[in-house]
Amino acid sequence: MSISNNILHHIENFTSQRDKELLAFSLLKSIREILSPIRTSILTLNGQDEPTMEIALTNGESCEYRYQDISVSDSTRASLDYINTWHLDELMKAHDDQYTSFHVLQQSRQQNQYLIITLDNKPSRSESYIVKGMLSIYGNFSSLLAESQTDELTGLMNRKTFEESIVKLYQGTAFEEESDLKSNWIAIIDLDHFKNINDSAGHLYGDEVLIHVSRVMRQTFTQDDMLFRFGGEEFVILMRNRTRSQCAENLDKLRLNVQEIVMNNLDPITISIGVCEFQKDVFHVTLMDQADQALYYSKQNGRNRVTFYKEIVEAGLAKDNSVTHGDIDLF
Ligand SMILES: Nc1nc2c(ncn2[C@@H]2O[C@H](COP(=O)(O)OP(=O)(O)OP(=O)(O)O)[C@@H](O)[C@H]2O)c(=O)[nH]1
């Protein structure tokens, strides 16, 4: 294949991806084909500079995703610090007959993402030029993808992305269960009497409330949790790797933090929450129905509270609706 066909092939590959991780994987594959590096990886750090994700590709081996126990060497840390201090886009380091290049993929207050390539040869000028072009196409497409996955008003993920994320949960790629005690949870959050806020203060003011609530959600949960605006004044959180009591504690903290939002002339804002435990063998529509039933219970019983589906079933206040994948035909 000629060089230009080859590049077209990489671009075609990038732009066919509709998922951030697959897009990142496709960038690593392109880098591997162009430079044959010893190792190439994408490292994501959160706002506190803690590593939250690493996708790595070694020559000839399969791709490795890591969300925990990611080790970042002192020399890598030092290089990233140098890039940030001097506001660089890239940095090349030579050590022990190897060359490591660091490229900034994304920088924001919430997260920084870098492409790290380790080679046993210094790349030629034309190779560096091609990689630069690839990164700029990757950057543009990745922003477009992020925009299409984001709710415009709140900046949280949108409902379409929720559907995709829940599918990943079933495939086991989004988050794995850590131990018997810890689980993943689905919570539906709905503002109380939101219509009154719109009616008394106006729709724009109502929008302002939604923005504040989503900010509080971001502050209360970690980068590992997935936050969605589901529509209107309804939000969904996919929480990973928590015991039931940790989950309850976090959601209660959210409820209390939302009450602390100060908006001129408004009564305290409150939210009602319904939660269910994620179970791989239960159909996702059923899980959403469970969380919704728990939310309904919160609404019917004074609002401004958190209800776990399992507890209302055990108390005989709701019927267990579990339908497993085995009970229905999925197509
Ligand atoms: N400002 C604003 N309002 C919205 C948006 N989407 C939906 N709404 C409004 O949200 C309100 C939802 O009202 P209801 O479903 O009656 O619920 P509620 O008043 O919160 O009452 P409860 O849920 O029973 O506590 C309606 O007035 C919708 O017009 C939005 O994007 N912005």
Q: Where does the pLDDT of residue 329 fall: very low under 50, low under 70, confident under 90, or very high at 90 and above?
A: very low
Class of the domain covering 3-149: alpha beta
Ligand 1 near 151 CB (within 6 A): no
Estimate the crossing angle of helix 194-201 against helix 203-220, to 10 degrees. 140
279 vs 185: CA distance, rounded Å: 9
Residue 10 has pLDDT above 50, yes or no: yes
Q: Which of 101, 108, 100, 114 is nearest to 44 (CA)?
A: 114
| CB-based contact 287:278 (threshold 8 Å) | yes
Give residue 234's pLDDT: 97
Q: Give the right CATH number for 159-327 from 2.60.40.3880, 3.30.930.10, 1.20.58.110, 3.30.70.270.
A: 3.30.70.270
Q: Where does the pLDDT of residue 331 fall: very low under 50, low under 70, confident under 90, or very high at 90 and above?
A: very low
Q: What does pLDDT average to over the chain? A: 87
The segment(s) of the chain belonging to CATH 3.30.70.270 are: 159-327
Give residue 48's pLDDT: 84
Mean pLDDT of 171-199: 80
**194, 197, 295: which to mutate for ligand 1, most atoms within 8 A of CB?**
194
Could you please report the per-residue DSSP string of 133-150? HHHHHHHHHHHHHHHHHB
Q: Which of 270, 320, 275 is nearest to 295 (CA)?
A: 275
158 vs 127: CA distance, rounded Å: 38
Q: Is the dihedral of CA 3, 5, 11, 14 positive or negative?
A: negative
Residue 330 has pLDDT above 70, yes or no: no
Give residue 303's pLDDT: 97
CA atoms within 13 A on the CB side of 138: 28
269 vs 248: CA distance, rounded Å: 20
pTM exceeds 0.80, yes or no: no
Ligand 1 near 232 CB (within 6 A): yes
Q: Mean pLDDT: which of 64-68, 138-142, 172-176, 258-262 is highest?
A: 258-262
Beta bridge partners of 106: 113
Amino acid symbol at 154:
T
3 state DSSP class of 272: strand
Ligand 1 near 235 CB (within 6 A): no
In tens, the pLDDT along 264-306 reads 778 899 999 999 999 888 888 899 999 999 999 999 999 999 9
157 vs 168: CA distance, rounded Å: 15
Q: Mean pLDDT: which of 146-160, 252-266, 293-307 is highest?
A: 293-307
What percent of the chain is modeled with pLDDT above 70? 91
Q: Which of 104, 273, 272, 266 is nearest to 185 (CA)?
A: 273
What is the 118 CA–ligand 1 centroid distance (Å)?
52
What is the 260 CA–ligand 1 centroid distance (Å)?
20
Q: Where does the pLDDT of residue 244 fall: very low under 50, low under 70, confident under 90, or very high at 90 and above?
A: very high
**195, 270, 273: which to mutate for ligand 1, most atoms within 8 A of CB?**
195
The segment(s) of the chain belonging to CATH 3.30.450.40 are: 3-149
- Return the ∠ at Cα 33 (arms to 31 and 39), rounded to 5°: 55
170 vs 126: CA distance, rounded Å: 43
Residue 328 has pLDDT above 50, yes or no: no
| CB-based contact 235:259 (threshold 8 Å) | no
Residue 171 has pLDDT above 90, yes or no: no
Number of neighbouring beta carbons within 10 Å of residue 331: 3
The DSSP symbol for 327 reads: G
Give residue 264's pLDDT: 79
Q: Where does the pLDDT of residue 178 fall: very low under 50, low under 70, confident under 90, or very high at 90 and above?
A: low
Better-predicted residue by pLDDT, 330 or 205: 205
Q: Which residues contact 62 (CB under 8 A, 6 or more apart)?
A: none
Q: Which residues are catalytic?
A: 233
In tens, the pLDDT along 29-78 reads 889 888 889 999 999 998 888 998 899 998 666 778 888 889 999 999 99
What percent of the chain is modeled with pLDDT above 90? 53
Residue 175 has pLDDT above 60, yes or no: no
**Which backbone phi and psi does 172 adopt, to 5 degrees?**
80, 10
Give the ipTM of the model, two decimals please. Answer: 0.96
In tens, the pLDDT along 186-218 reads 999 999 999 999 999 899 999 999 999 999 999
Out of 120-124, 168-172, 205-209, 227-231, least confident range = 168-172
